[in-house]
Amino acid sequence: MKTINQFSPIRISIDSTEMAVRKALKELLDGLAPLDLDIEEMGTVELVMAEALNNIVEHAYPEGTAAGMIKIICKHALDGLHLTVMDNGRSMPNGQTPVGSTIDIDVDLQDIPEGGFGWLLIKGLAKEVHYQRRSWQNMLQFRLAVATSPPDPTCPEHANI
């Protein structure tokens, strides 16, 4: 596994379309190759990012509005991957992420409610989920506890950890 000093941040900019989300996910996962994540860790990254990006496409830039840009920044640290996702679409309702509560699915198929599952997954798998709206820009930040590593005592910047 590469150390924190050898991993350059990944920066991706895409249009807010479903096809662009697919390409961004591939680019992100390809960019994480130097970390040698196991299949479960890769799945976590892909699932959380797919949910976040698809929510932006669907809700920040809903059908009938002009597509916009989505920017992704991924940095590796000792405690995992730190991701920032930014867009200039509509803000989150009430200026905060949805609760993501559980939904009763022990009902007939046609009665299963729409929505709510994505944020439940994001908040269950990601740590330190923060959302803010600043000057017409949405910013979602979170940490994924994958590719973590113990501090290297020989590295001066980690000596006090």
Label the pairing between strands 137-144 and 80-87.
antiparallel
pTM (predicted TM-score): 0.79
Confidence of residue 153 (pLDDT cuts 50, 70, 90): low
Q: What pLDDT digit, counting tens, does each position of 42-96 carry?
A: 999 999 999 999 999 999 998 888 889 999 999 999 999 999 999 999 998 887 7
Contacts for 60 with CB less than 8 Å, ≥ 6 apart: 16, 68, 87, 89, 90, 91, 138
Task: Answer yes or no: are the C-beta atoms of 120 and 48 closer than 8 Å.
Answer: no
Separation CA 49–CA 61 (nearest Å): 17
Cα separation values, 140 from 64, 97, 104, 127, 154, Å: 24, 9, 27, 12, 34
Structure confidence at residue 161 (pLDDT): 41
Task: Answer yes or no: are the C-beta atoms of 21 and 53 closer than 8 Å.
Answer: yes
For domain 4-158, the CATH class is: alpha beta
SS3 label, residue 130: strand
Confidence of residue 160 (pLDDT cuts 50, 70, 90): very low
Neighbours of 58 (CB within 10 A): 14
Token pair belonging to 34: 């130097």
Structure confidence at residue 61 (pLDDT): 92
Range scoring the smallest mean pLDDT among 59-63, 88-92, 113-117, 118-122: 113-117
| Residue located via tokens 């895409």 | 14
